[in-house]
Each structure stands twice: as structure tokens, then as C-alpha cells.
Amino acid sequence: MPSSQNWNTVAYNGTVFAAISGGPGASTSTAFAYSTNGSTWTGVTVTSGRWNTLTAGGGMFITASWDGVTLLSTNGSTWTSGGNLPGSWQTNISYGNGVFVVHGLYSALAAYSTNNGTTWTSGITSITSGLSTITYGSSYFVGLQSGSSTVYFSQKDRKSTRLNSSHE
């Protein structure tokens, strides 16, 4: 990877690795790179922006910017515009069971896509402030609320991404 960047996120889509620099709070445009072996990396020029998060799922990559814009790629080298998110300050994307979920750290807004990021639907209205992370496993999306002990989780085996809270 080019050493002039602070790389912070990497994902694998089953064929190729993709990485972005910058991340939440980055003050400059983010750099992209891809690799077929994890050792040799090739830099990629993409639309300028503050891209903060990257995930892979369903054979593709999706990244989101602070401005509520997404980019999509199947190979890590060619990126195209995805659907616009219904908000900004998105900091994390997760994939599971054919659904991509994106959320913001500084707001209660989250959205989901069931068509590989081409359209996004507002969701997860039960969150009272932002999530610091979200992941998928065992048929559930699970997120942690920033600065608290609240855990949010989706209903099992549902495309809906409405999350319920738990304080344990």
C-alpha cells in the first residue's frame, strides 16, 4: 500500500481485497487500493470525498462518505456511484443475509439496502443516538450505541432492520 496514507479499513469480497484510508473525522479525501493477494496493492482514483467505511458482501464492495453518498465495486479497481443515503455522517456498513445496513455515529439515522446499494431505505427508528459499530451474525444485525451500554439487535431472519434495544 502507498505509505503516504493512513489506511484504516479493509474488506474482502471473496476474490479481491479493497482498502480505504481516512475514516471517520478524516479532513482530506480518502485513498482507495485493491489487491488480489493482500501483499501487492494498486492505488485507485475515485470521486473525491471523505469516504469513511467499507464492507464487502454478496460479491461486492460498498463504501459511504460523510456526505451520504455511496460507491459500489465488484473488483476494487472500478467504482461507480451507488444510491444516495437518506442522511449524512455514515460511519459503518455491515452486510448479512442479502442486506447492507449503514448507520451514523453522530445521529440516530440508519438505512438499509436489499439491492446491492443502489437504493437505500431509512430504518432503525428506535435508536436514540448514533451507533459506534454494527455487525451481522447468527441471523441478527447487532449494534452498540455510542457512549452507552445499550445494544440494538434486529429480529431474526427478517429483511427488516428495525432494531430493538437491550440493557444488560
Number of alpha carbons in the 13 Å side-chain half-sphere of residue 105: 14
- Burial label for 135, CB within 10 Å (0-12, 13-18, 19+), is middle
Cβ neighbours, 10 Å, residue 109: 21
Task: Specify whether the CB–CB gap between 19 and 48 falls below 8 A.
Answer: no
Question: pLDDT tens digits, residue range 86-106?
Answer: 776 677 888 988 888 887 766
CA 44 to chain centre: 19
Question: pLDDT tens digits, residue range 26-65?
Answer: 555 578 999 999 999 999 988 777 788 899 999 999 998 8
pTM, whole model, 2 decimals?
0.79
Provide the grid cell at 103: 448507520
Q: Which residue has the higher pLDDT, 158 or 50?
A: 50
